[in-house]
Chain A
Amino acid sequence: MNFRKTAAFFVTVITCLFFFGMTGAKAAEPYHLGVALGLTGTGALYSADQVEAIKLAAEEINAKGGFLGRHKIELFIRDTQTKPDVGVREVKDLILRDKIKAVINDYSSAVAMAVKPIAQEYKVLHIAAISNSENITKINPSPYTFQVVPNSYMQAKAAAVATAKMAKLKGWKEYITIASDYEWGRSTQAEAVKILKEMVPNLTLKKEFCPRLGEAQYTSYITGIMALKPDFVYGSLASNDNVAWMEQAKTYGFFDKIAYPGSLISVTELILQAKTLPRNLIALTRAPFFAHLDIPMMADFVKNYRAKYNKFPSDWAVLGYDAVYALKQGVEKAKTIDTEKVKDSMKGLTVNLTRGKLTFRTIDNQLSCSSYVGTITDDPKYPFPIYKDIVEVKGSESERPESEILEARKAAKK
């Protein structure tokens, strides 16, 4: 009997160990997360910050056991060189060789657009964290692609809405526009003028300047605008034109005299150009950490990021960090790491991020996140200027209406 009892005891123990072992093996199944960013090329500066934040988020989550407390995140980081063809090649390799379940990609919208159909074909989640072309989610939508950064339309509208709010606040009466003479410049300018007219009807548009694309000499425009003494100038200049304009206007003390809202200046530029950036410039950005230090998640992130990397996080770091945590909450809602179920759970999901409680729009998987406009000012708390008098333009105020998205999709199919 004793032998039987002993045998039964061992069988029970071995059976328990076997099943426990099975469960243990399941708990150890890692979550393969791909990170395909432009680590070289034009996107290198922003992407490096993003990778750091993604690593930090993964470490934090893994310290608590990983996704669902048991699926440790394993990162697979690749360089897309900010080139669509390289991006496609690397993401395919990540999918086929490293068996990733999701990929965070890219700095460049062109790369994200190229990767989108690949992710859809292989049923892998695709999170666009920096690239913000509206067309990533507007046209030919993929149920696997999510965008956690305010898109190009939201940013353009936010700039105009914030300008209108400031115009009301400061009692501005007259303004001038300056836009590069091509499709984007003209259409952005027209959209801004329309919004300003609707929101501040008594605002007068004094003059419109349209220097040609690639203009190198802005002096006559600068002094011409200063002579007209508008309350503010709304600019739709991008890239090289914007740099040339800013550099030349700065030497005339333009920004000390005339408000110039709407230029994209992220925390990266605030840090790198701390000495030369004109103060009192009204600018726009995507995810400045100092706008949400009242949110515990942001305060903790800044603290941990500074402790680990000995610097303040840029917008791009915030966005990378949020991308991982949005995915985490999608997994938690799905209660599984199965991509199909996570994809479904993220649709319309409200997530708690460093920027607050935000919701993915059902129609396009675009996170309804804010854009930020403020005045560049020195702050003794930081070794670089930050935004003051921040106007946070919520996603709901700046999103493209759903009817227009449906129309655009219909037109794209024709």
Chain B
Amino acid sequence: MDITSLFTQFLSGLTYGTILFLVAAGLSLIFGVMNILNFAHAALWLMGAYFSYTFWSWMQGNSFAFWLSIPLAGLAAAAVGWVMEVVLIKRIYKRELYEQLLITYCIALIISDTIKLTWGVTNKLIVRPEMIRKPVFIFGAPLDSYFIFVILAGAAVAIGLWWFLKYTRYGHIVKAAVYSREMVGALGIPIPRIDTWVFTLGIFLAGFAGGIQAPIGSITLGMDTAIIIQAFCVVVIGGFGSLLGTLVGSLIVGEVFSFTILFWPEGAMVLIFVITAAILIVRPWGLFGTPMRT
């Protein structure tokens, strides 16, 4: 195995990790602030992919259609998320975790059927612009040229979220809510409104990630079921509510999966579950989470 092949595999792990980060960031944010384990997150990610296809179809023929459809998918998913939070999620904040899981699982099924009714059962394919149909070579290692955009988008989301949490007032409130919702509430800050906007932001990230996923392969029903498990692994490893943890967790899962495939393909997913289980036993709050959360 030469160094170029190893570097190629590293790049594959990096792109896979980036895609997982984009999905898991919203999941982690929602759980961190609102204490809601949103099982419907991946279904909204899938809906984002379908939204992206619709926007791309509407604007087909325009040179910007491909690129614009991605953030528009995020905004459309965010609108769905906002309605979902106001109508449903608000009512289950104080429920037990298992009840939240069951309810959000039901919502995931409803979203899946809505997707089926709206877009049908046939695959949807977004045709990429000519410039990103060929591989690029980085130190001799091939990389799908679209993945450069994916990696940059992942980095932009990570930096944007970090900046938001570190330097904005709302970011500080969100961070404070991760530690103590009661204290934030006691300071006169309307927690329900914060919840709504955090949930909407989380779902925007899901829809945006779906839009990014859409041109990678074809968009099909059921894509969400596989990725939700991996997204949960990411947030468990990194720590719920921790942006840095989600980023590191994503990269760990991406690289472990990628390199294990090279040497032990049968064990690629198993190893990720072993790591997740080990973290849950040894450090249940994850690598970068905190056990002090109330």
Contacts and interface: CB of A to CB of B under 8 A. Distances in A.
Interface of A: 42, 207-210, 212, 214-224, 226-228, 240, 243-245, 247-248, 250-253, 276
B226 A243 contact: no
A219 B1 contact: no
Nearest to B222: A214
B196 interface: no
A244 B15 contact: no
Given A216-B216, A217-B16, A276 B144 contact: no
A69 to B, nearest CB: 45
A253 B135 contact: yes
Contacts of B133: 250-251
Interface of B: 1, 5-6, 8-9, 11-13, 15-16, 19, 121-123, 125, 127-128, 132-135, 142-147, 213, 216-218, 220, 222-223, 225-227, 257-258, 261-262, 265-266, 268-269
Contacts of B225: 214
Nearest to A245: B217
Contacts of B217: 216, 218, 243-245, 247-248
A209 B16 contact: no
A215 B226 contact: yes
A248 B216 contact: yes
A133 to B, nearest CB: 20
A209 to B, nearest CB: 5
Residue from B1, B132, B144, B147 having most chain A Cβ neighbours under 10 A:
B144
Given A223-B8, A252-B135, 9 more contacts: A208-B265, A214-B225, A214-B226, A216-B227, A221-B265, A243-B217, A243-B218, A248-B216, A253-B134
Contacts of A250: 133
A208 B223 CA distance: 23
Given A210-B265, A212-B226, A216-B217, A226 B142 contact: yes
Q: Which 5 residue pairs across A and B have the least CB separation, nearest first? A: A244-B217, A227-B5, A251-B144, A220-B258, A240-B220
B145 A223 contact: no
B16 A220 contact: yes
A119 B218 CA distance: 38
Contacts of A243: 123, 125, 217-218, 220
A1 B121 CA distance: 86
A397 B203 CA distance: 55
Contacts of A207: 265
B142 A224 contact: no
Nearest to A178: B265
Contact of A219 (B6, B134, B144, B265): B144
A252 B220 contact: no
Given A227-B8, A240-B218, A244-B220, A216 B213 contact: yes
B16 A224 contact: no
B147 to A, nearest CB: 8
Nearest to B49: A216
7 contacts: A42-B121, A219-B147, A224-B262, A247-B217, A247-B218, A252-B143, A253-B134
Nearest to B215: A247
Contacts of A210: 265-266
Given A224-B265, A243-B218, A251 B135 contact: yes
B221 to A, nearest CB: 8
A200 to B, nearest CB: 23
Given A227-B1, A251-B144, A209 B261 contact: yes
A239 to B, nearest CB: 9
Contacts of A251: 128, 132-135, 144-146
B261 A221 contact: yes
A155 B289 CA distance: 54
A216 B223 contact: yes
Contacts of A226: 5, 8, 142
A208 B133 CA distance: 28
Contacts of B9: 220, 223-224, 227
A335 to B, nearest CB: 47
A224 B261 contact: yes
B266 A252 contact: no
Contact of B144 (A212, A214, A216, A248): A248
A253 B142 contact: yes
A220 B12 contact: yes
B219 to A, nearest CB: 9
Nearest to B263: A224
Nearest to B19: A217
A42 B13 CA distance: 36
B120 to A, nearest CB: 10
Contacts of A223: 5, 8-9, 11-12, 142, 258
B218 A219 contact: no
A31 to B, nearest CB: 36
A218 B269 CA distance: 13
Contacts of B12: 219-220, 222-224
A228 B5 CA distance: 8
B126 to A, nearest CB: 10
Contacts of B13: 220
Contacts of A227: 1, 5-6, 8-9, 262
A388 B188 CA distance: 75
A223 B14 CA distance: 12
Contacts of A244: 217-218, 220
Residue from A224, A228, A244, A248 having most chain B Cβ neighbours under 10 A:
A224
Nearest to B217: A244
B216 A217 contact: yes
B16 A219 contact: yes
A18 B124 CA distance: 65
A243 B268 CA distance: 22
A247 B262 CA distance: 21
A276 B16 contact: no
